[in-house]
Amino acid sequence: METFLGYDDVIKKFFSSGEGHLFEHWNELSATERKEFIEELSHIDFRLVTELKSLIKRESHVEMQFEPAPYISLNPLSDEYARAKEVGESHLRNGKVAAFVVAGGQGSRLGYEGPKGCYPLGEISGKSLFQIHAEKILKYSQKYGVRIPWLIMTSQSNHHQTVEFLRSHNNFGIEPSDLFIFSQAMVPSLDLDGKLVLESPTRLFKNPDGHGGSLTALASSGVLDALIGRGIETISYFQVDNPLVKIIDPVFIGVHLLQNAEVSSKGLPKIGPEEKIGVFVNFPNGRLGVIEYSDLPEERAKERDADGKLKFLMGSPAIHLFQCEFIRKITSEGQVRLPFHIAKKKLKVWKQGTVVEIDGLKFEKFVFDAIPLAERSIVFEMRREEEFAPVKNLTGVDSVESARALMNNLFKEWLTKKGIEIPPKVRIVEISPLLAVEAEDLPQIAIPNKEMVYLE
C-alpha cells in the first residue's frame, strides 16, 4: 500500500484494531482525498469505538428494579396551582428562563427533505415548526416583558440548512443576540459484525449522538456559560416535532422551583398499557427515571391499582426543566456519561465503489437518562390534548395529519373557553402564536362563517 509521510500511524492504528477493511479503496483515492480521509480518521476516538463494540455483546444495561414514579397533579382551581403560577411568572419576569429545542434528529420516518423544523406544519398558514416555536417564544417574551433566549441544537447533518433557513427568514423575529444554535456530537455507526463503515470514500458513517447529547453539547459549546452569565437559571427543554408544546409554562416552572427540583418532567397519563411511550419510574435508590416502553415487561405495563388505574401511568412526552447548575454539575468533566442505546437500522454505506444498504447499528444517548442523576426531581401531570402532538410520520399515528387535527381541536377549545362562537361552516381553525399561546390571550372576536379560519 502506498502511503504518505505522517499517514502511517493512523493507518497502522486502524489495521491493528481490525478496521483494515476501511482502506480497501485506498489505491483509487486521489492525493487530496487521501488527505481528507486520513484527517477524518485521525479524529476517531478509539476508546469510544471500543466502548460501542463492547455494548453489542452485552445484555441490556437497563436497571430492571423499579416501581412507578410518584407524580404531582394540580387542580387549576386550587391555591397550590395559583401559588405555582405566581412563582413561575415571577421567575420568567426576572429573565431566568431559556427555551431549548432539540432539533438534531434525522427525521427519517417523516421522509422530508431537510431539517424537520422546516416542515410546513401550519394547516392554513403553512408555518414551519421552527416558525411556530419562534412565534411562541416571542409571545411569551411579550407576555412576561423579557427577551427569552432560544437555544437550538442541530447536528452535523442539518446544521447548515437550519442556520440558513432561520437566516433567510430573519430568525422569525428573534433577535440574533437571543438565538443560540449549536451542534451535538456524532458517533460512529457499526455494521452487525461491529465494524466501522463508510458513508463516502473519505468519510466514516456516523449518526448524531441522540437527544441525550444535548446536555454535553450545551456545556461544550459554551452556551451554558453564556446563559449563566446572562442570569438564566432554568432551561425549558422540548422537541422540535411537538407543535403543541407549552414552551414556557409558568405553573410547571413554579412547581419545579417550589419543589426545589434539579430536573422536572411533564408526564401524561398513558392511553393504555400498550401505548409506545417511555414511562416514569422510581428506582430503588429513590431516584426517578424513565424506562423505554420496550423495556417495560408486558405484565408490569398491565398492572393496575385498587382503583383500576394503570400503576405505570405516567408516560414521558419529553418535556423537561433543567436547572443550569445541575447541567454544570453533571458536565463538570467535559461530558455527561449517559449510557448508549443501540438501534438496529438500515444504513446506506459506501462499499466497494458504490452505495449499498446494509443492516447496521446506531448508538444514541437519551436525555431522560440524566433524570436519575438529579438529587431532586419531580413529574408533573399535564393534559395531553393541550400540549402533545408529536410529528413522526406523514400520516397515521403521531403524524402531520394527527398533529394538525390536535391543533385544530385545541384552537377550537380555546375559542369555546373564551365564549367565542364558532359558526357552522368552520371546519379548520388555526391561531397564530403571535395572537395567542393560550385561551386567555384571545381577544373577543367574531369568527367568519367559512371553512378555514386563520386568526392572527
Q: Does 259 bind ligand UTP (CB under 6 A)?
A: no
Q: Which of 34, 85, 96, 116 binds ligand UTP (CB under 6 A)?
A: 116
Q: Please say whether the beta carbons of 280 and 311 come within 8 A.
A: no
Q: Which of 171, 239, 399, 408 binds ligand UTP (CB under 6 A)?
A: 239
Min separation Cβ 390 and ligand UTP, Å = 7
Q: Please say whether the beta carbons of 316 and 307 come within 8 A.
A: no
The site string for ligand UTP over 56-95 (x = CB under 6 A, - otherwise) reads ----------------------------------------
Min separation Cβ 153 and ligand UTP, Å = 5
At 304, which amino acid appears?
Answer: R
Min separation Cβ 127 and ligand UTP, Å = 17
State the Cα–Cα distance between residues 56 and 51, nearest whole angstrom. Answer: 9
State which residue, 153 or 415, has the beta carbon closest to ligand UTP: 153
Among the candidate windows 83-91, 235-243, 285-293, 334-342, which touches ligand UTP by CB under 6 A? 235-243
Among the candidate windows 222-230, 233-241, 331-339, 442-450, which touches ligand UTP by CB under 6 A? 233-241
Q: Which long-range contacts (CB under 8 A, 24 or more apart) does 14-21 make?
A: 14/41, 17/46, 17/49, 18/195, 19/195, 19/196, 21/195
How many chain residues are in contact with ligand UTP, going by CB under 6 A? Answer: 21
State the Cα–Cα distance between residues 420 and 426, nearest whole angstrom. Answer: 13
Q: Which of 38, 44, 103, 263 binds ligand UTP (CB under 6 A)?
A: 103
Min separation Cβ 119 and ligand UTP, Å = 11
Q: Does 338 bind ligand UTP (CB under 6 A)?
A: no
Among the candidate windows 139-147, 234-242, 303-311, 447-455, which touches ligand UTP by CB under 6 A? 234-242
Q: How many CA atoms lie within 13 A of 299 on its CB side?
A: 0
Q: For residue 234, what is its C-alpha cell?
A: 432554568
Q: Does 392 bind ligand UTP (CB under 6 A)?
A: yes
State the Cα–Cα distance between residues 423 and 451, nearest whole angstrom. Answer: 9
Q: Please say whether the beta carbons of 259 and 375 come within 8 A.
A: no
Q: Does 389 bind ligand UTP (CB under 6 A)?
A: no
Q: Does 370 bind ligand UTP (CB under 6 A)?
A: no
State which residue, 92 or 185, has the beta carbon closest to ligand UTP: 185
State which residue, 109 or 302, has the beta carbon closest to ligand UTP: 109
State the Cα–Cα distance between residues 181 and 8, nearest whole angstrom. Answer: 37
Among the candidate windows 70-78, 168-176, 209-217, 369-377, which touches ligand UTP by CB under 6 A? 209-217
Q: Which of 88, 208, 267, 315 binds ligand UTP (CB under 6 A)?
A: 208
Min separation Cβ 343 and ligand UTP, Å = 9
Query: Residue 418: enclosing H or E segment and its boundaries?
Result: none
State the Cα–Cα distance between residues 381 and 266, nearest whole angstrom. Answer: 6
Q: Please say whether the beta carbons of 281 and 67 come within 8 A.
A: yes
Q: Within positions 148 to 177, which residues make up the interface with ligand UTP, using CB under 6 A?
A: 153, 155
State which residue, 111 or 272, has the beta carbon closest to ligand UTP: 111
Q: Which of 95, 188, 210, 433 binds ligand UTP (CB under 6 A)?
A: 210
State the Cα–Cα distance between residues 178 and 196, nearest whole angstrom. Answer: 39
CB atoms within 10 A of CB 126: 10
Min separation Cβ 180 and ligand UTP, Å = 14
What residues contact residue 297 under an 8 Å CB cut-off, 6+ apart? Answer: none
Among the candidate windows 208-216, 298-306, 352-360, 372-380, which touches ligand UTP by CB under 6 A? 208-216
User: Please, what is the Cα angle at 256 between 251 and 262, to 5 degrees?
Assistant: 155
Q: Does 34 bind ligand UTP (CB under 6 A)?
A: no
Q: How many CA atoms lie within 13 A of 111 on its CB side?
A: 5
Tell me the residue ranges of DSSP E strands in 12-149. Answer: 67-68, 97-102
Instruction: Using CB under 6 A, list all residues that contact ligand UTP.
Output: 102-109, 116, 153, 155, 184, 208-211, 239-241, 364, 392
